[in-house]
Amino acid sequence: MTIGTTMPEIRQVPVPGGKMEDNYGEKVRIGLIALCDDVAVDRDFARMVPDDRVALVTSRLFLEQPNSQRTFLNMADRIPDTVRLLCPLLRLDSVVFGCTSGTSFIGEARVTELVHSARPSVNVTNPGSGAIAALSALGAKRVSVITPYTIANTANVVRMLAEGGIESVQVSCFGFDTDMDIGSVPREAYLEVARNTDHQDAQAIFISCTATKALDAIEDIEAAAGLPCVTSNQAAFWHAMRLAGWNESILGFGRLMRDCW
């Protein structure tokens, strides 16, 4: 409309039939806390959403780069304000803190406490808790671990798994300490490491970090290695859905999403 044009009459009309319905996510609505430079986690969660009965809402959390114990611990106090941006007037069934290493440093219980300070009583999970629950659901107590991290950050994730009753029998890492570098590792790299590693007596493969491209390689890895494959994003999404009461198979993302409901 150009300057000087007469405003047309605007009609307010009723919704046809007068019937309203719920927003997207009538069955499950998940709130995701994504790190500021992680472009994989919400992409992966969205790919796993089976239909419009499930909705995903995302809020971003600042994390200084490069990654270290100091930067992970420093972001903890920002979690409540980030949670408050997750559709505060709508029902949420689960909130996911989307950082595996951050969880390993801050602690699973502390992450839940921080989320509950802003959203009391909501189901809370994270990639660490999700992975431990997923591996247990698969009957895997011994795992082969692949990470994009430095040795130091990898060791902390291995410690977190051990505290959850999961023994790491083989561990490989790529040595990166920024989400930008981690996100640039090709999905095929995880497949090649999985294919060419002696997994000893591992009962599953765990690929850590929400910023990886590993989600789309899960089924190829399972076929190549003959073991179930769990990734941070897959496990966190599965756990959030399960906590919210979802019990239907979701195909295309490995044995966990197909069988463990």
Specify the CATH number for 129-232; select among 2.60.40.10, 3.30.70.3420, 3.40.50.970, 3.40.50.1860: 3.40.50.1860
| Contact predicate 211/185, CB 8 Å | no
Report helix, strand or coil for 228.
Answer: coil
Predicted local confidence at residue 7, as pLDDT: 85
Say yes or no to pLDDT of 1 above 60: no
Q: Which amino acid is at 150?
A: T
Write down the domain spans for the chain. 28-126+235-250, 129-232
| Contact predicate 170/200, CB 8 Å | yes
Specify the CATH number for 28-126+235-250; select among 3.40.50.1820, 3.40.50.720, 3.40.50.12500, 3.40.309.10: 3.40.50.12500
**Which DSSP helix (H) or strand (E) runs through 152?**
helix 151-163
Predicted local confidence at residue 4, as pLDDT: 66
Q: Which residues, listed in sequence order, are joined to residue 231 by a DSSP beta bridge?
A: 207
Q: Peptide bond preceding 127: is omega within 30 degrees of 0, i.e. cis?
A: no
Predicted local confidence at residue 123, as pLDDT: 98
Predicted local confidence at residue 3, as pLDDT: 64
**What would the pLDDT profile of 162-218 be if each residue is shown by its tens digit?**
999 999 999 999 999 999 999 999 999 999 999 999 999 999 999 999 999 999 999
**What would the pLDDT profile of 74-123 be if each residue is shown by its tens digit?**
999 999 999 999 999 999 999 999 999 999 999 999 999 999 999 999 99
**What would the pLDDT profile of 116-169 be if each residue is shown by its tens digit?**
999 999 999 999 999 999 999 999 999 999 999 999 999 999 999 999 999 999
Predicted local confidence at residue 89, as pLDDT: 94
- Average pLDDT along the chain: 96
The torsion region of residue 170 among left (phi > 0), alpha (psi -120 to 50) and beta comes to beta
Sheet holding 94-98, edge to edge: 54-61, 28-35, 94-98, 123-125
8: tokens are 């047309």
Residue 56 Cα distances to 39, 44, 159, 162, 209, angstroms? 15, 11, 30, 31, 19
